[in-house]
Amino acid sequence: MSFNLKVTFVGLCHFIENSRTKKKVKLCVVLPDARRVRDGVDGSAMEIHRGIIRIRPQQITGDDSLEDERIWLLRRERITLDVTPSGLVENSYSFYADAKRKLAKMEEFAPKFVDTDASIVANKDVSPAVVAQILIREGKLVADGAEATWVIPSTLRNGDEAISGDLVSRLSLKIANLTSASLLLRPFEAGTPRRIPIMAKDGSEAEVIIGNLCPHDPLEWDEPLDDQRDDRDFLWHYELLSQKMRDKISVHLGDLNTGPAPVPTVPRNGDTDGRGNNCYGALGKRRRIRAK
């Protein structure tokens, strides 16, 4: 008996690959702690977001009659995937180029200011800017969901012209042929670990959704919103840069009087999905990941 596991990341998720490529942990997905209103690097207010885990209950109990999702709120925890392979397929790590290409890259927004704070991927004394770390050791990361065209302003790129590209709002990690799987959530500080078991029928796929979304739509309801807006939520990604770099960005924006910090903006000759719920993930600079 074996099943496949799909872990989908949606919303404000910051993907950082390990610069030490031979280590077991290949990637750390960092969720910014956006549970309280605060001002961003450009002085504008940032909207609250909630880090959550969503799983259909039949993937925990095995009872197919249950339909509603179960929700876990994240509260400064490190998440590891505890999986047992069937031995039929080797689940080596791979971050597909197509998935990287469709992530918003911090180096394209602020190439001279991309210096991720080392403490966001630390094992101890994790930055207060982080609500969760998800450690990835194996599996295939692929682009998922619909694509949307966004423009990246040149505010922090020394006057270069704006660039545009297609972004996806979610990435999925796929691990094949497992006999068991669970999520282990360990508090950064003192506290009791939590374990979430995952079940699925033979030959089927279990899906876990890890999100960091606006509180008005944390469950991604299908009801559309009328507003179409630039992704101001993206400002939370700047909170994961070092304090030195955040200070430099603030000074740079103030000296040049260039306006707000660059975020993915809606093409002026087009529109978004109309839900007003962008919350795009980002690809950060490679770091030495100490979390384990």
The 3-class SS string of 27-54 reads: EEEEEECCCCCEECCCCCEECCCEEEEE
| Token pair of 67 as six digits | 């339909």
Q: What is the pTM of this model?
A: 0.90
Choose between 223 and 291: higher pLDDT.
Answer: 291
Mean pLDDT of 191-197: 94
Write down the pLDDT at residue 7.
96
| Token pair of 6 as six digits | 């799909």
Write down the pLDDT at residue 118.
93
CA separation for the pair 264, 165 (Å, rounded) = 10
Helix (H, G, I), strand (E, B) or coil at 108: helix
Distances (CA, A) of 246 to 208, 250, 253: 33, 6, 11
Q: Confirm whether 25 is domain-assigned.
A: yes
Q: Confirm whether 66 is domain-assigned.
A: yes
For residue 57, is pLDDT > 50?
A: yes
Mean pLDDT of 179-188: 96
For residue 205, is pLDDT > 70?
A: yes
For residue 178, is pLDDT > 90?
A: yes
For residue 152, is pLDDT > 80?
A: yes
Identify any residues that bridge with 83 across adjacent strands, giving them in sequence order: 181
Q: Confirm whether 97 is domain-assigned.
A: yes
* Nearest alpha carbon to residue 282 among 241, 246, 248: 241
CA separation for the pair 122, 192 (Å, rounded) = 19
Write down the pLDDT at residue 251.
87
* Nearest alpha carbon to residue 143 among 105, 166, 164, 170: 170
pLDDT tens digits for 7-24?
999 999 999 999 999 999
Are the C-beta atoms of residues 187 and 80 closer than 8 Å to each other? Answer: no
Q: Confirm whether 223 is domain-assigned.
A: no
Query: Taking the mean position of all CA atoms in its chain, how far away is CA 18?
Result: 16
Give me the half-sphere count of Cα atoms (radius 13 Å) on the Cβ side of residue 140.
Answer: 14
Place of tokens 């919303």: 11
254 C-beta neighbours (distance < 10 Å), count: 11
Q: Confirm whether 291 is domain-assigned.
A: no
| Token pair of 154 as six digits | 């040149």
Distances (CA, A) of 165 to 89, 100, 144: 35, 12, 16
For residue 277, is pLDDT > 60?
A: no
CA separation for the pair 96, 63 (Å, rounded) = 35
Calculate what percentage of the chain has a pLDDT beyond 90. 50
Distances (CA, A) of 136 to 7, 19, 83, 160: 11, 14, 11, 35
Give the number of residues written for the chain.
Answer: 292
Q: Which helix (H) or strand (E) holds 247?
A: helix 243-256
Choose between 287 and 218: higher pLDDT.
Answer: 287
Write down the pLDDT at residue 289.
95
Helix (H, G, I), strand (E, B) or coil at 179: strand
Write down the pLDDT at residue 273.
40
Mean pLDDT of 71-95: 88
Q: Confirm whether 245 is domain-assigned.
A: yes
Confidence of residue 155 (pLDDT cuts 50, 70, 90): confident
* Nearest alpha carbon to residue 188 among 242, 135, 239, 123: 123
Q: Confirm whether 207 is domain-assigned.
A: yes
Confidence of residue 179 (pLDDT cuts 50, 70, 90): very high
* Nearest alpha carbon to residue 52 among 77, 28, 88, 15: 77
Confidence of residue 61 (pLDDT cuts 50, 70, 90): low
Tally of domains within the chain: 1
- Note down the domain range covering 187: 3-217+228-283
Contacts of 255 (CB under 8 A, 6+ apart): none
Query: Taking the mean position of all CA atoms in its chain, how far away is CA 71?
Result: 17
pLDDT tens digits for 218-271?
666 655 444 557 888 999 999 999 999 999 998 888 766 556 888 888 776 544
Mean pLDDT of 134-138: 96
Q: Confirm whether 290 is domain-assigned.
A: no
CA separation for the pair 249, 255 (Å, rounded) = 10
